[in-house]
Amino acid sequence: MTDRVRFAPSPTGYLHVGSARTALFNWLHARATRGTYVLRIEDTDAERNRPELTRALLDELEWLGLDWDEGPHFQSERRDRHREVVEDLLDRGLAYLCDADNAEVAGTSLVDGLAVRFRMPDDRTVAFDDVVRGNVSFDTADLEDFVVWRSNGTPMFLLANAVDDADMGITHAIRGEDLLSGVPKVLLLLDAIGAPRPTYAHLPLLVNASRQKLSKRRDDVAMADFRERGYLPEAMVNYLALLGWGPPDDIEVRPLEEIVELFRIEDVNKAAAFFDLRKLEHVNASHLRGLDKATFVERVQPWLDEAPWAPEAFDAGVFDRMVDLVQEKLRTLADVVRFVDFLFLEEPADDPESWQKVMVDGPSAAEVLDGAAAALAGCPWESEAVKDAVAEVGEALDLRLGKAQAPVRVAVTGRTVGPPLFEAMAECMERDEVLRRIARARARL
């Protein structure tokens, strides 16, 4: 029998990094074992059962490339089956009706306005082997009789979760550590139904730089935001795979196909995993550099289309000359705009921080601009000569090239950070335009 692995999110309208990692690890296990990846939407709560919440989730899974083999199944459509199981538990005395004060009410069929609680057996140990955490055991004395059916006529999450895993023949439940404490209750339900227990693997907690659990309020957690900021899906899944797992050869940046080959759920470790935005950026930059030119151009296109310059000002030929210069430097696709906008905007973007740092607080900005204006007016218009000209201006002022080029860069591009300056000026701009911008900045000083 092949493994049947499920991703079972409760829709919240966005895909949280934690859920994305869970989705990925289930997918990886399914693909690595040639098993079946089942998608089940756990929307038993009325407020979760809204199509747009689920749509957002499916969109992000598709973007990440985590295709499913079966589903999506909707838990909300299985209410009759959940009811049947609860009635059977009532019938067998394994659960009981209770009123709003939690007092037991006699009866063996569901009654509107009454909830149903599972009767916790006395003094038993419920134990299981978690793939990640090893042997885990709970004492039933520490657990309360828990609600399996709400007084409003809907199943409780744990009941639906257990019944659906059983009915769908799920063999592996890979999910976040925060769900660990619910396992003994699910196991008691599965035992009561007479269904086999799936294998559980609880993935380590994700924490931020302050070692706090990721929170929606404090941290960047929505997959859609990373997508909008120009992270590549292949970089995103590559990075997510490293949150709790690592390849045996320690080569971290690699294509998903290779990760599938190397992934073993048994190798997931239990130490909390740091969701490191800088490392994510590094992984993204590496994947960006690895794209062939045509693919890179295709991938940045949506950001170019949204850029702030007038559409007719965009020059594909100029951009083509810039591609090699920028592809090396970008951290995200969205970065492309601030790397090339000076070529297509009438005036360079005015970044106040750059201006302050270089033109106001930096050394000899006026002298550099005067010198550069004179030198660049006469030198050959090619990058080496342009560089030498600016270097000479710097030497006369006792500035190294890095310092000398800064005022020129800010005058021409508007910013301190950007593509290699001399190539960009000589290969993509007219001399007159460069001189005009230098004069304009000089006049502002």
Nearer to ligand GLU, 42 or 219 (CB): 42
Residues 6+ apart with CB under 8 A from 150: 115, 156
Q: Is 74 in the site for ligand GLU (CB under 6 A)?
A: no
Token digits of residue 386 = 């342009």
CB of 179 to ligand GLU, least distance (A): 6
CB of 8 to ligand GLU, least distance (A): 4
Token digits of residue 211 = 């070692």
Stretch of residues binding ligand GLU (CB under 6 A), selected from 5-13, 145-153, 299-307, 322-330? 5-13
The terminus-to-terminus CA distance of the chain in angstroms comes to 75
- If phi over 0 gives left and psi between -120 and 50 gives alpha, with beta otherwise, what is residue 169? left
CB of 176 to ligand GLU, least distance (A): 7
Q: Measuring CA to CA, which residue among 184, 172, 238, 179 is closest to residue 203?
A: 179
Q: Which residue among 94, 110, 143, 179 contacts ligand GLU (CB under 6 A)? A: 179
Q: Which residue among 23, 36, 38, 42 contacts ligand GLU (CB under 6 A)? A: 42
Q: In one letter, which amino acid is 252?
A: E
CB of 11 to ligand GLU, least distance (A): 8
Stretch of residues binding ligand GLU (CB under 6 A), selected from 3-11, 133-141, 216-224, 234-242? 3-11
Helix, coil or strand: residue 42: coil
Q: Is 9 in the site for ligand GLU (CB under 6 A)?
A: yes
Mark out the alpha helices in 214-292 (DSSP H runs).
223-228, 233-241, 256-262, 277-290
322 — phi, psi (to 5°)?
-85, -20
Place of tokens 């006699």: 106
Q: Is 72 in the site for ligand GLU (CB under 6 A)?
A: no
The answer to whether the beta carbons of residues 172 and 8 sit under 8 Å apart is no
- Residues facing 74 on adjacent strands: 41
- Beta strand 70-74 with 36-41 is parallel
Q: Is 76 in the site for ligand GLU (CB under 6 A)?
A: no
Q: Is 180 in the site for ligand GLU (CB under 6 A)?
A: no
Identify each DSSP E strand in 208-337 by its residue range: 273-274
CB of 177 to ligand GLU, least distance (A): 11
Per-residue mark of binding to ligand GLU, 148-167 (x: CB under 6 A)? -------------x------
Q: Which residue among 64, 89, 173, 232 contacts ligand GLU (CB under 6 A)? A: 173
Token digits of residue 167 = 């009915």
Nearer to ligand GLU, 180 or 385 (CB): 180
Nearer to ligand GLU, 121 or 176 (CB): 176
Residue ranges in contact with ligand GLU by CB under 6 A: 8-10, 42, 161, 173, 175, 179
